[in-house]
Structure 1
């Protein structure tokens, strides 16, 4: 009876794997699609505007990119956190919005999530001159009046994604403690919790401090790799201590039950795209 139950469980897992995708750190009897094989199951992942990318600072085009305007970032909200099996998503209310930054319209927030490595390995998705950072924050926004990612994917700028890279510091970043504690409460696929009295402004700087950033057109970094993203990667990094980073990496598990580590997609070819930088605007004001 025990063997029969084991066999049924194994068959169910392998059946699930065939319809799933994996990161390179996962193992599922070679039936999951790791990043190198995503395009065989999700064709858009093989497109010409894929993300993330390596940003070569000597080749970016300096241009006059305006500042952002954040709406609702200082509001006190309750955030639902759910383990999605590949990462943990922090759902944001539609009252959190974004304008400016040379984006073509108004955008409503959907969720934010993180990408990290494991066992001391860096885990950012974007790299700067080949350097991978310890962790990366993505805040996903959907262009109005679209109601979902599925609707927005038909617009090349239907999704606005704000990205922040983390640098490791000696001292803890106390503003990350509620986020880290929440990750500890969603260890398994499908588990969820709520962070009460949360403000997005607690973990990201105010708009007035975010004038310097990179911009390019790309895609979501997980299947189906929708090529509808206006990417903004801020030059200003966020801080996280080594102790906090270890706590982030150690708490969640993939849908396969394995530790959730190295949850980043390798960088993709630029394929002729141009990366713009607003740094010249900032330098000009300071100069």
Structure 2
């Protein structure tokens, strides 16, 4: 069956009739899509589900959301089935403990279109990276899921830019090797090849869940504001159409729709005075008015 958080590899092996993404429906596969997950997996109908849409003008600054400390991200390791060595650690960032890495995976859309799970002010990105950690005291992901803060997930958006992200090519090539059941990948890379320095990152924080069944509500989510670059050519690479679900259907559109907040608060590491996000021209004029107004006061 499809285990939690192993979307990239496990969904390839998913058995017809079990849960699936909306894009998997076909004459050969009548599995249960996201809207029906709660029928078989009650947690999927819970009050703290993920992903969500982050509304930037409603987020609240939390001074406890300090810089992260990444450990082991510069070490070269063998990327097998997208698992990560436990020497990769995560602490700081307002987390209640030190967490060790478990695995990472990607979510993407169809034909290079919207494919991220989370969205910001209704905007979705073509791809989203999840790096999954569990508290270091636990021996497995299953054990960590019994703790409401047992899992710490980092989410990075990929945004299409004009240049090629050469560091990402190795991960993309590795993805292309995972085509059929039983195939694994073996390649070497460092997390610093694809994600930036931890102490320079602003982020959002909320309490949520796994984004696949059983949707366990045990995840401290960190969604980074700084997107990662990916070229149009990379996001539309042929391998996306050669990766296959268990039914031989191309593996595209692997994301869960956004879920209701149900009263949850989304926090940010950015102080309120630096939240000049500029969603529209009115905000721009207000920011300029404040700047020039302050200058006049000091003359």
Q: Mark the CA change 1:282 to 1:202 in structure 2 (over 3 Å): closer, same or farther.
A: farther
Q: Mark the CA change 1:281 to 1:175 in structure 2 (over 3 Å): closer, same or farther.
A: farther
- Alpha-carbon displacement from aligned partner over 1:4-59 (angstroms, at most 9, x marks no partner): xxxxxxxxxxx9422x2110011244630100001111111111100000000011
Say if 1:189 and 1:253, in contact at 8 Å, map to a contact too.
Answer: no
Matches for 1:116-265 after TM superposition, within 5 Å: 116-196=108-188, 198-210=189-201, 212-247=202-237, 249-265=240-256
Distance (Å, rounded) in 1 between the aligned partners of 2:30 and 2:108? 24
Which runs of 5 or more structure 1 residues have no equivalent in the other structure? Answer: 1-14, 82-89
Distance (Å, rounded) in 2 between the aligned partners of 1:251 and 1:277? 38
Say if 1:21 and 1:38, in contact at 8 Å, map to a contact too.
Answer: yes
TM-score (norm 2): 0.83
Which runs of 5 or more structure 2 residues have no equivalent in the other structure? Answer: 1-13, 276-290, 292-299
Distance (Å, rounded) in 1 between the aligned partners of 2:194 and 2:112? 22
* Partner residue in 1 for 2:50: 51
Deviation at 1:257, TM superposition (A): 1.0
**Comparing 23-32 with 173-182, which one deviates more in the overlay?**
23-32
* Partner residue in 2 for 1:100: 92
Distance (Å, rounded) in 2 between the aligned partners of 1:189 and 1:103? 36
Say if 2:48 and 2:209, in contact at 8 Å, map to a contact too.
Answer: yes
Say if 1:126 and 1:267, in contact at 8 Å, map to a contact too.
Answer: yes
Distance (Å, rounded) in 1 between the aligned partners of 2:50 and 2:138? 22
TM-score (norm 1): 0.87
Distance (Å, rounded) in 2 between the aligned partners of 1:282 and 1:256? 52
The root-mean-square deviation of aligned C-alpha atoms, in Å, is 1.8
The structure richer in strand per residue is 1
Deviation at 1:170, TM superposition (A): 1.6
Say if 1:219 and 1:229, in contact at 8 Å, map to a contact too.
Answer: yes
How many pairs does the alignment contain? 260
